[in-house]
Structures are given as structure tokens and as C-alpha cells.
Amino acid sequence: MFDPVFSFHNTQPTKVERMSPQTATPQDPIRVAIVGATGKMGTHAIDAVSAANDMELVATLSSKNELTAITDAKATHVLDLTIPDVSPNVVAFAVRAGLHTVIGTSGWTEDKRAVLQTQLADHPEVGVLIAPNFSIGSVLATRFAAQAAPYFDSVEIIEMHHPQKVDAPSGTAVRTAEMIATARERAGVGPSPDATQHDPGHARGAKIDGINVHAVRLAGLEAHQEVLLGTPGQQLVLRHDAFDRASYMPGVLLGLRTVAARPGLAYGLDAYLDLDEPS
Ligand SMILES: NC(=O)C1=CN([C@@H]2O[C@H](COP(=O)(O)OP(=O)(O)OC[C@H]3O[C@@H](n4cnc5c(N)ncnc54)[C@H](OP(=O)(O)O)[C@@H]3O)[C@@H](O)[C@H]2O)C=CC1
Ligand SMILES: O=C(O)C1=N[C@H](C(=O)O)C[C@H](O)C1
């Protein structure tokens, strides 16, 4: 049944909506510490968490703070919006402290996720969400791309971002490539045809799980991605545009509201959404 607490549209649930059906008493507020609070995502997240009446913003950290500020503030949840080199350290601290953690930071490679799994094994009650993208449009575009990918000979990804972005390719592009590769492998579809033999400057992009990913950094852009799918005589283009960081905030709140009920590691916000598996 539809649960308003899990709705993308409901960024302001009332206390009544958050009552447990068993006890019919309001739940304690979610005590959130934001790490990376001075950043572009962090400043939006401060507003979103502060405006949510089922949450309390108890700590805001930047590179200048010790992580112990999180536990000093008695946070129950950590929202990590930092940089790829720092995020694993923040998350390891949070998991050790038994705090549910939502990660928006990019750069969570398979190796880093494996280390996190071992850390979580010692804290089985803790929930962690790695969300490469919090916006519903992007999550759906990635799912649609994975669904379509087995039906086309060729697939390539172009991600386009603002020039302040420190990592490439984007976490969203990596996740999209992984899901496309899995869907094609399950369907027994081989690699995209490509006669390229000489490419000393890597003009064909990075290969992520066998999928070519191209990264553009352009002043004036925010966060955009196209998945190009081609087969003789036709092309399908799946494009998502995030024009504003406000697009991520319903997903941030959904993650914070859900993570405690999902112990262990979830990868991708789609894990918290009721979506059909791509075929
Ligand atoms: N999942 C999603 O939907 C989205 C994810 N992102 C990702 O979120 C991350 C943050 O993006 P954005 O806000 O644009 O980045 P910014 O560069 O604007 O912010 C980075 C933040 O990290 C902080 N930071 C840096 N080093 C440390 C440290 N050692 N300890 C604690 N905090 C530190 C910075 O603090 P200080 O001010 O002190 O330097 C700053 O607050 C990126 O990985 C980005 O790709 C972005 C958009 C959407
Ligand atoms: O740095 C950004 O801006 C973004 N980062 C995330 C990523 O790496 O995919 C999400 C979105 O693309 C915006």
C-alpha cells in the first residue's frame, strides 16, 4: 500500500503520517548530522532537513571539523555529501558509531563497497545507502536504459556536468554503466561493435564494465546525462537534466527516512523505490 512517508512528493510529512501502526505514537525525530555541509549539496540539504518536521539537524560539518562532532551531537543518522577521497572515512566512522548513513558522495567503487560491507558485518543493525543520484528522473532514466540496453547493438553514455566537479566519470554514469552491463550480460548480448584500434588520447572515453562513458565539463551546465542506444536504422536517446540541486532533496529525505529500516548496504536509491526489475 502507498505509504506517504516513502513518497518522493511528501517532503513535509506530518507527525501523524510518521506514527507506527503498532503503537500509534509519534516516532522520535531523525537526528541528522550533515558532513560536507558547506558544499553545494550540503547547503541545500541543510534547508531540506531543517524544513522536515520529522527531522532535527543536530550537526553540520565541513573539512574543519572533527568527526566526533557527529557523536557529540547524538546524531542517529549521517548524511555524507563530501568528496570521494573523504567519504569512506566519514562512513567508516558513522558505521563504527552505529549510525545509519546516507551517502550522496560519488566515487564508491566496487572495492570501496566491499570494504564497507566488511565494516557493516560488525554492525548488522546499521543501514547504509549509497545513492549515486538522488533525483527520481535520473534513477528512472538509469533503469530505463538498463531495460532498453539488451535490445540495441550499441550503447554509450555521455555525462555532462558543471566544471567544479572534481571526479570523472560521474557516479551516476558509473552506476548506469554497471546496470546496463548487467542487463546485457543477463540477456547474453555481447559488446557494442567498435572497430577502433588506435586511440592514444582515449577519445572513445572510459570503459566502465565494457560500456564507453564520455565526460563533458562545461560552464553553465549543472548535471546531465544521455544514454545513446543504437541498432541498425534507429537510435534511442534517454536524457536526464538536473537543472537545480533542489531536484535531489526529495531523494535525500527519502533516504534518511528509510535507511534505518533497511539494515545492511543498499546501492542506488532505486533499492528504496517500488520499481519493476529491468528485464
Ligand atoms: N547523489 C547525488 O544525487 C548527488 C551527489 N553529488 C555528489 O556529492 C558530493 C558533493 O558535491 P558538492 O556539494 O557539489 O561538492 P562541494 O565541493 O560543493 O562540497 C564538498 C564538501 O565536502 C567538504 N569536505 C571536503 N573535505 C572534507 C573533509 N576532509 N572532511 C569533511 N568535509 C570535507 C567540503 O568542506 P569545506 O567547505 O571545508 O571544503 C564541502 O562542504 C560530490 O561527490 C558530488 O558528486 C552531487 C550532486 C548530487
Ligand atoms: O557533482 C555533481 O554535481 C553530481 N554528482 C553526482 C554524480 O557524480 O553522479 C550526481 C549528479 O550527477 C551531480
Nearest ligand (C-alpha, residue 89): 1
Tally of residues, the chain: 279
pLDDT of res. 20: 40
In angstroms, what is the C-alpha Rg of the chain? 20
Q: Of these residues, 77, 100, 161, 214, which one is catalytic?
A: 161
State the distance from the centre of ligand 1 to the C-alpha of 104, rounded, in angstroms.
9
User: Which residue in this structure is represented by grid cell 553545494?
Assistant: 40
The model's confidence at residue 12, banded by pLDDT at 50, 70 and 90, is low
The residues pairing with 208 across neighbouring beta strands, listed in sequence order, are 211
The ipTM assigned to this model is 0.99
Domains of the chain with CATH codes: 4-130+245-272 (3.40.50.720), 136-242 (3.30.360.10)
Residues 119-127, mean pLDDT to the nearest whole number: 98
**What pLDDT score does 27 carry?**
77
Query: Cα–Cα distance between 84 and 167 in angstroms, integer?
Result: 8
Nearest-CA residue for ligand 2 atom 12 is 223
Q: What would the mean pLDDT of 194-223 be, rounded to a whole number? A: 97
Calculate how far, in angstroms, residue 101's C-alpha sits from the geometric centre of ligand 2. 18
CA pair distance 256, 103, nearest whole angstrom:
10
Average pLDDT score, the chain: 92
Closest of 96, 172, 83 to residue 133, by C-alpha = 172
What 3-state class would DSSP assign to 131? coil
> Is residue 224 among the annotated active site residues?
no
Any idea of the CA torsion for 98, 100, 102, 105, to the nearest 10 degrees?
0
- The DSSP code sequence of 89-119 is HHHHHHHHTT-EEEE--S---HHHHHHHHHH
Query: Which residue has a Cα nearest atom 16 of ligand 1?
Result: 39
pLDDT at 275: 82
* Ligand 2 lined by 127 (C-beta under 6 Å): no
Lowest mean pLDDT of 99-103, 141-145, 271-275, name the range.
Answer: 271-275
Confidence grade of residue 276 (pLDDT, cut at 50, 70, 90) = confident
Binding residues for NADP(+): 64
